[in-house]
Amino acid sequence: MIKQTTINKCTACTSCVIDCPVTAATREFKGPKLLGPGLERFRLFEQDVEASIDYCTNCKNCDITCPSDVGVSTLNMLAKNEFYKRKGHRLRDWILSHGELFARLSSPVAAIANWGMAFPLTRMVLSALGIADRPLPAYHKTDFYQQFHALRQQPYEQKVVFYPGCYIGFNAPQVGMDLVHLLQANGYEVIVPDVVCCGTPVVSNGYMDEAREKAQHNIRALAVWAQKGYPILTCCTSCGLMLKQEYLELYDIEGSQQVAEQHYDAGEFLVELKDKGQLKTDFKAIEGSYLYHAPCHLRAQGIGLPGLELLQNIDGMKIAEIDAGCCGIAGSYGFKKEKYDISLAIGKNLFQAIKACPGATVVTECGTCQLQIGHVTKAATIHPISLLYAAWESNKQASSEAE
Ligand code: SF4
Ligand code: SF4
C-alpha cells in the first residue's frame, strides 16, 4: 500500500518554486507548487496526470524549504508512478533504474564490462536508447561484499549494522571498507546483512511497486538488528534518506519505524561518538585544499553536515563548504539524453565555484554528485569518510615513523 500525503497544508507560499533547481533550469517543468499540491487536488477528482512531472528529479529541495511540511516530492513521485502506468516506460528508463542488476552481472568481469561500456559501438546503442554521452560509473572486480567478507574483524561487543547500497557495493567499495576500518579502530564490529538496492532509482523512474518489494526486503533484513538496538549506518545519502524517511512516507511496512529510528548517516554516527568523547580523534591533516559539497539528500535528512564537521575538526585541514546548490545529476536523471543539458544548467553555480579553485579536491558523500562534478569540472573527488580514514592512517604512519 502506498501512503497518501496530505495536500491541505499547502498555503501557496511559493517557497518551493523559488528553491526548486529544475524550475530555475527549464521551462519544461511547471514547478512543485502546481504539480505537487496544486494538481493533486485535480488528480484526485479527474485522475489526470501532468506530463511535466517527468522533469521532477526528486531532489527534495521543495521539502527542505516548505514551511508547511507538505511532502511535495512524495506527491510528485506518486504522480510520476501514475504517469508511467498510463504512458508505459522506455527501455532506457528500465536500464537506468536497474543498476544493481547490471552491477551484479558486470562486477565479476569488471575490466571487460568497463571497456565495453566505453566501446564506440556500445555508446552508439546507448545513445539510440536515449542515454547521454557521458562516462558511466566503473565497476570493481572485488566488490564491497567480497572485500568485507574477506576481512578478519576484531570481534567487539559494540556492534553496528552497515547498509552499503549499490554504489558503494559495486562502484566505490573502498568507501565502505574505509568506514569499516574506522569503526574497527573505534571498537565496533560491523554487520552487513543481506540487503538489496534501497529503491531510489526505481522510485525516481516511476516503479513504485518494485520499490515497495525492495523496501520490504530491506526492512525485513534490518528490523531484526534495529530491534536489538544496533545503529544502522549508511554512507550513501540517498540510501540513508530512504531508510530514515522515504520508506515511512511511501509505505506501511512493519519494522520501518524502528529502522528509521536506528538509522544514522555514517558521519552523523561518528559526530555523535565525538560529542560523547568516544571517537578516537588522532587524525593528521591531509595536504591540499578541499571543497565540501553537501548532497541534496543529505540536507533533506536534517542532520546538518556531519562529514564536513568531522573534517573541519582536524587541525590544519584546509576545507571549506561550497554552498552552491544541487549538482543536477539526481541519480539517473543526468544520464538521460533529453535531461542532460538541464542537469548541467542546474549545477552551473556549483561548477563555477569549483572551477574558481583549481587544484582543489571536492569532498562529497554522494557517488553520483562525484560523477557529475568530476565529469564537468575535472576536479578530483572523495567521500568524507575516505578522507577521514586517510587522516587516521596518516597519523598512524607518522606516529610509527617517530618511534
Ligand atoms: S523534488 Fe526537486 S525537482 Fe522535484 S519539485 Fe521538488 S525541488 Fe523541484
Ligand atoms: S512551499 Fe509548501 S506551502 Fe509553500 S507552496 Fe510549496 S508546498 Fe505549498
Q: Of all protein residues, whose CA lies closest to atom 3 belonging to ligand 2?
A: 10
**Ligand 2 contacts CB of residue 68 (under 6 A):** yes
User: How remote is the C-alpha of 56 from its chain's centroid?
Assistant: 16
Element of type H or E holding 127: helix 120-129
Helices 208-227/72-87 angle, 10° precision: 140
Cα of 332 to ligand 2 centre, how many Å?
A: 26
Structure confidence at residue 28 (pLDDT): 87
pLDDT tens per residue across all 403 residues of the chain: 455 567 788 888 899 999 999 999 998 888 898 888 887 776 654 544 578 899 999 999 999 999 999 989 998 999 899 889 888 999 999 999 999 999 999 999 999 999 999 899 999 999 999 999 999 999 998 999 999 999 999 999 999 999 999 999 999 999 999 999 999 999 999 999 999 999 999 999 999 999 999 999 999 999 999 999 999 999 999 999 999 999 999 999 999 999 999 999 999 999 999 999 999 999 999 999 999 999 999 999 999 999 999 999 999 999 999 999 999 999 999 999 999 999 999 999 999 999 999 999 999 999 999 999 999 999 999 999 999 999 998 887 777 777 6
Q: Which SS3 state, helix, strand or coil, does residue 72 take?
A: helix
Paired residues of 162 in beta bridges: 233
Q: What are the structural domains, with CATH classification, of the chain?
A: 4-87 (1.10.1060.10), 289-402 (3.40.50)
CA distance 364 to 341: 22
**Ligand 2 contacts CB of residue 10 (under 6 A):** yes
Cα of 5 to ligand 2 centre, how many Å?
A: 13
DSSP string, 226-281: HHTT--EEESSHHHHHIIIIIHHHHB--TTHHHHHHHEEEHHHHHHHHHHTT-S--
- Alpha helix segments (H runs only) across 20-90: 21-25, 32-33, 39-46, 61-65, 72-87
Structure confidence at residue 51 (pLDDT): 82
| Nearest-atom index, ligand 1, CA of 36 | 5
CA distance 319 to 383: 13
Structure confidence at residue 8 (pLDDT): 80
Give the tens place of pLDDT for each residue, 238-271: 999 999 999 999 999 999 999 999 999 999 999 9
CA distance 292 to 72: 27
- Cell numbers representing residue 127 in the block: 545513445
**Ligand 1 contacts CB of residue 57 (under 6 A):** yes
Cα of 325 to ligand 1 centre, how many Å?
A: 13
Paired residues of 159 in beta bridges: 189
Cα of 137 to ligand 2 centre, how many Å?
A: 36
Structure confidence at residue 42 (pLDDT): 65
**Ligand 2 contacts CB of residue 31 (under 6 A):** no
- Cell numbers representing residue 335 in the block: 544520464
First to last CA, the chain: 62
Q: Of all protein residues, whose CA lies closest to atom 1 belonging to ligand 1?
A: 58
- Alpha helix segments (H runs only) across 325-383: 337-346, 348-355, 367-377
The ligand that comes nearest to the alpha carbon of residue 39 is 2
Of 33, 54, 73, the one to substitute when testing ligand 1's pocket (max ligand atoms within 8 A of C-beta) is: 73
Structure confidence at residue 45 (pLDDT): 47
Of 68, 69, 73, the one to substitute when testing ligand 2's pocket (max ligand atoms within 8 A of C-beta) is: 68
Cα of 123 to ligand 2 centre, how many Å?
A: 41
Give me the sheet containing 361-363, strands edge to edge: 318-321, 289-292, 361-363, 381-382
**Ligand 1 contacts CB of residue 73 (under 6 A):** yes
Cα of 71 to ligand 2 centre, how many Å?
A: 9
**Ligand 2 contacts CB of residue 72 (under 6 A):** yes
Of 9, 15, 60, the one to substitute when testing ligand 2's pocket (max ligand atoms within 8 A of C-beta) is: 15
**Ligand 1 contacts CB of residue 61 (under 6 A):** yes
The ligand that comes nearest to the alpha carbon of residue 31 is 1
